[in-house]
Structure 1
Amino acid sequence: MTEEKNTLNEEVNETIETDENTVPTDTETEDSSTEVNEEISIEDQLKSTQEKAEELEAKLAEAENRYYRLQADFENSRRRARLDLEASEKYRAQSLISNLLPAMDNFERALQMEADTEQAKSILQGMEMVYRGLLEALKNEGAEQIEAVGKEFDPHIHQAIMQVEVEGFDSNHVVEEFQKGYILKDRVIRPSMVKVNQ
């Protein structure tokens, strides 16, 4: 029995010794907690770095959008400036033509007068030549008289000041023109003042 006790004691001592070897000491515990703290610290740094990267990407995307908007605005302003330049070139004579129209109206009224003497007839002939020369100059600049009498009424180029019922004209057609209208290329400078059939 004593032998068995001794053997048992020896086994227990061996077990205790092995357990002491496997149980971590204080320094081993500190090392492992330091490692855990370092891992947590690295994870925090990674998260912080990712957040900063996402923030920088958002700022970059915003800056790119702003750049593209500015570029589009610049292109639009260049296009507008080019169109304005083309329009000013195309309609450069508009103000001059507008200023000449009252003189053209006076010429037309003067040419409708009856001439009783030879001297009056020759003056009217000279006025008619000047009038035709002015019309030709206007045509060279792209301005033309608007056709009115007998044409269908168009509110874009005609200004109706009277409505009448006249036989021989279709409904909504111009019967008489009181003042000639003029158009410069595709822009109406002055609409024709007309009388329209109902």
Structure 2
Amino acid sequence: MSDNIETEIIEQPEGPVGPEAEIAALKAQLVEAEAKVAAARDAQLRGAAEAENTRRRLERDADSTRKYASEKLLGDLLAITDSLELGIKASEAPDAQVQALVEGMQLTYRQLMAFMEKNGVRTVDPIGEAFNPDAHQAMTMVESADVAPNHVMAVMQKGYKLHERLLRPAMVVVAKAPAQS
């Protein structure tokens, strides 16, 4: 009969055996763990500082954007301002000619309208169109046999849209059917 006996081989650590060796190993592990904790704390502090710097930079950029967002727009308006100043000076001259002033005002108006169109502003001039309460403000209704009922027969003040958003509704006179006699 043969007995199968399994034997376990226990490896002995190198160096001295005993509590001093275990304490030294634990101290080495402690030093290693403290180094890892210090590195993790340093990385966390650096990350927090980086996040704070990014937040401040974004805040500065947002402030700058708010402050100077209209810079190009206002720069484009300067030519129109110059034109108006020239017209005012011309009107103050003792030999001012009305026709020249009118032509200057028309030129300035065309400059202003070109500027507005370039920046996405469109005129709402609905004469002859069906009344639309989303884009028109009815000031009055007038009986008319010439214009279909609920259609705009006159514009008192043009409206304006910025792209698809209404800036100001057109103030209009709306036609209504003549009263039956």
Smaller-chain TM-score range? 0.3 to 0.5
TM-score by length of 1: 0.43
Q: Quick check: which one's helix share is greater?
A: 1
